[in-house]
Chains A and B, each alone.
Chain A
């Protein structure tokens, strides 16, 4: 296998090398253009846990674009890069990263267009996400391959076929934690117009392998293999009055997942119908949706977004029927009313639930009367078998106004008791923020931004999340100074990409899957360009926080100092950069990662042809 890969690699390289050569001698009808940068410089790094090293080295990046015969026939683009980090280029990686990406489009102007794209990255920096915060730094490799082809023959059903394969592996700096995941996806779709109906159908197969060391979770290596298949059909028919239309759709999804001895599988069938009646003064929308497996559809959403289905999630028999109707009416030019009725019938855990929600929203636009203010307010009333259960409110307001040199803006959004996937749980969210801009002098401007958000599942306290952030920026024509602070806390689950807020009430999730997080981060940056050839960029960031899982308590911290100076002389760029980085994760058995790196070098831009 290794030998075969090597042969493929060499063959691809030879082909890439031959392309510019061919264009150079104008062979046939091949046209190509290329440009790139070569960098030579001196760099080094040292740290507590590694031997110091310093050496002369080089880096490069380039772009080769071209086409054969005609851009609509075959066109291609390849961008290789080597030895690029934030110390010597515009790369965001704190480590020297290398790789390439490319795309070939073919038959673009025909009935059979297609494309192939590929990418490979080595040693690039990434982020292990923590909601509302900067996240923890990772280092890893990734590759992707994507191919697609379409058949677009007039008068016949269209056909589209696509396949992609992506894989990545990364390690969390300052820990012995690593993550690897591979996703393969095959999708086939078709559409056709017949007797006024727009018909669509398709099939999607997804397979995901995940391997992660849960240094923030239970501390053990977790392996999961998941796959899902889904089929869908839909038909849309425009009705011959008032831009109305009717649509029906059906889908069947099945998934299976094996994870460290436990196995999750299920099948979800879904049928839906929609009717939109576009009456000029009173448009009406009616829809019905039936699902025979509520939990299965949730798991399916996780798989479709590249995450593994949650093991240990209670999976009782369940089904749901949701019927909704809504309309809106314009009372006055600036006043509209929006009314709706939702009725849900659900069965899970051996019990039947019924819930009816009806509400009305009032939208009033004050843009002319009280300059810059708009707001919407509404009320939601819910009733079930026991009668009226709760009354919720929804609303939002926006305000923006300029007072002399001051420009202010603010927003407020509030949703109370909004229905979730499960009829017994509702969610409430609140977001608000404000911004202030002030022209100080000439080109000098100050901007301050405050924002905050809070969401919570009702019926159970302490299972939501909240975040706050403050930003202040002072900007001039030749400089920008900024400072920021964020704070967040909440309940999350662990995925290959990091922590994500718990998507369901915690009582429905296995306790072993839950991680409580609480952290804050702050930093600042200063960027100055005294003249158009010189640029100096510095930044400082620090984040610290805790994660708590049933088996693990971890205190995490990341600190980074960064500086870069660039001077441009024609097509040369003189660069000096340095990074000091420290990341610690207390639940890991390794010592913190502490590294300081520096670089001095020269970059020259070339245009090949």
Chain B
């Protein structure tokens, strides 16, 4: 509005002087990505650290010339990162699908094709997805997400496009009180959903009709006290029975076949069991959220080994939750409070060796 006075030019020079060192400032190089050392196990087995990822940026490939030029001129874009990740599943294409109740959405990390997608429906008037908790996939890589707040199950296709919601009642309310764990049996066309507040597992058909319920409140065999995660593996339905501090497994007919775990604050015991998964050798991986470790048990419930400790360094966890093991025995652990997923690989015995041994 008025012409610059000498005083203003003096200020301008001062601001420039102040900013000069900012441009020249040398950014500290990030520390080298050094994971935890390999965990050597008996029989030549080992567990190695592979990587950690936390945001869209880590998915993208090496930028081209024009992208780099744009990055210099306009700055890097704002990459979406995980806020409070909880559950995880990996599809047949190797894409990691991570639920994030903190961001009210689901992240899809495709490291093969260097693509990222974020699914959200929190602003939809009908069937809004508010707190996605756990995730499961069917044979076509369709994505099934439980929403613990709205009480529904959201179904998306492999590209992340919304298909429909299961358990959506007239008036907008959800059928489930607090759905958490979920597993999909494509062969039997069944969906298993844990309703934590009802202490039950609902067995649904693919259209969402309730076919059967499993369990009731209690601490006996086949009973639950706040069941949470589910995993369908090796024809077994693994259920984290959180406040009974154990994992139970059921056959496809709903009959209880076994259980393991006891409350305690020492190695081999459980205090806050979260995610559960099974590797190619049938070992059970159980995440303990409070201790920040993943404990590995054999089929008889004996502790084989554990990895991780409480912390923020690579190989350490703070409030870990979900765990998933893909067909290559890669172990994906959701490190919730550290806002990341850490990937390990279990190098077991080859099938031939296993076959010979047996």
Residues on A close to B: CB < 8 A?
13, 16-17, 20-21, 24, 34-36, 38, 45, 50, 53, 57-58, 60-62, 64, 80-83, 85, 94-96, 98-100, 122-123, 442, 477, 569-572, 579, 595, 597, 604-606, 608-609
Query: Chain B interface secondary structure, helix, strand, loop or mixed?
Result: helix
> Cβ of A572 and Cβ of B21 under 8 Å apart?
no
Partner of B25, one of A45, A81, A605, A608: A608
Q: A390 to B295: give the CA distance in the assembly, Å.
A: 83
State the CA gap A214–B125 with chains docked (Å): 58
Given the known inter-chain contacts A82-B8, A609-B27, please indicate yes or no for A17 contacting B15, CB distance below 8 A. Answer: no
Considering only CB atoms, which chain B residue lies closest to A12 in the complex? B14
Q: Is the CB of B21 within 8 A of A36?
A: no
Contacts A45-B1, A82-B11, A98-B11: A64 and B75 contacting too (C-beta < 8 A)? no
> Which residue of chain A has the shortest Cβ distance to B71 in the bound complex?
A570
Shortest Cβ gap from A71 to chain B (Å)? 19
Closest chain B residue to A26 by CB distance?
A: B28
A38-B16 Cα distance, complex, nearest whole Å: 9
Contact call A122/B11, Cβ cutoff below 8 A: yes
Q: Which residues of A contact B4 (CB under 8 A)?
A: 57, 96
Closest 4 CB pairs of A and B: A608-B22, A571-B75, A609-B25, A570-B74
Residues of A within 8 A of B26 (CB): 24, 609
Number of interface residues of B (CB under 8 A): 31
CB distance from B8 to the nearest CB of A (A): 5
A-B contact pairs, 10 of them (CB 8 A): A20-B18, A24-B26, A50-B2, A122-B8, A122-B11, A570-B78, A571-B75, A604-B75, A606-B19, A606-B23
The reply to whether B21 and A20 contact each other, CB–CB distance below 8 Å, is yes
Q: Assess whether A62 is in contact with B22, with CB atoms less than 8 Å apart.
A: yes
B1 CB contacts on chain A under 8 angstroms: 45, 85, 94-96, 579, 595, 597
Known A24-B24, A34-B22, A605-B75; contact A123-B2, beta-carbon cutoff 8 A:
yes
Residue of A nearest to B70 (CB): A570
Q: How far is the CB of B197 from chain A (nearest CB, A)?
A: 29
What residues of chain A lie closer than 8 Å to B20, measured between beta carbons? 17
B12 lies within 8 A of chain A by Cβ: yes
Contact call B21/A608, Cβ cutoff below 8 A? yes
0/1 string, B313-345, CB within 8 A of A gives 1:
000000000000000000000000000000000
Q: Is the CB of B19 within 8 A of A608?
A: yes
Say if the beta carbon of B17 comes within 8 Å of chain A: yes
Determine which of B2, B14, B23, B24 lies in contact with A96 in the assembled complex, contact meaning CB atoms within 8 Å: B2
Contact B25 A24 (CB under 8 A): yes
Taking A94-B1, A96-B8, A605-B75 as known contacts, 18 extra A-B pairs with beta carbons closer than 8 A to each other, sorted by chain A number, are A13-B17, A17-B18, A24-B26, A34-B25, A36-B22, A45-B1, A62-B18, A62-B19, A80-B14, A83-B12, A96-B2, A98-B8, A572-B74, A606-B19, A608-B19, A608-B25, A609-B22, A609-B26
Is B298 positioned at the interface, with any CB of A under 8 Å from its CB? no
Chain A nearest Cβ from B87, distance in angstroms: 28
**Is B188 part of the contact surface with A, judged by Cβ < 8 Å?**
no
A38 touches B19 (CB 8 A): yes
Q: Which residue of A lies closest to B14 (CB)?
A: A13
Q: Is the CB of A64 within 8 A of B18?
A: yes
Cα distance, A16 to B20, chains bound together (Å): 12
State in angstroms the CA–CA spacing of A498 and B220 once bound together.
78
- Which residues of B sit under 8 angstroms from A569, Cβ to Cβ? 74
Bound together, the chains give a CA A269 to CA B2 distance in angstroms of 51
The answer for the CA separation of A99 and B14 in the assembled complex, in Å, is 10
- Nearest CB in chain A to that of B17: its residue: A17
Which of B19, B73, B74, B75 touches A36 (beta carbons < 8 Å)?
B19
State in angstroms the CA–CA spacing of A579 and B1 once bound together: 9
Cα(A571)–Cα(B72), bound, Å: 10
Judge whether B19 and A60 touch: CB under 8 Å: yes
Residue of A64, A442, A571 ringed by the most chain B CB atoms within 10 A: A571
Chain B residues lying within 8 Å of A36, measured Cβ to Cβ, are 19, 22
Partner of A80, one of B15, B24, B70, B73: B15
Is B281 located at the chain interface by the 8 A CB criterion? no
Report whether B22 and A606 are in contact in the complex, using a CB–CB cutoff of 8 Å. Answer: yes
Residues in chain A near residue B19, CB distance under 8 A: 36, 38, 60, 62, 606, 608
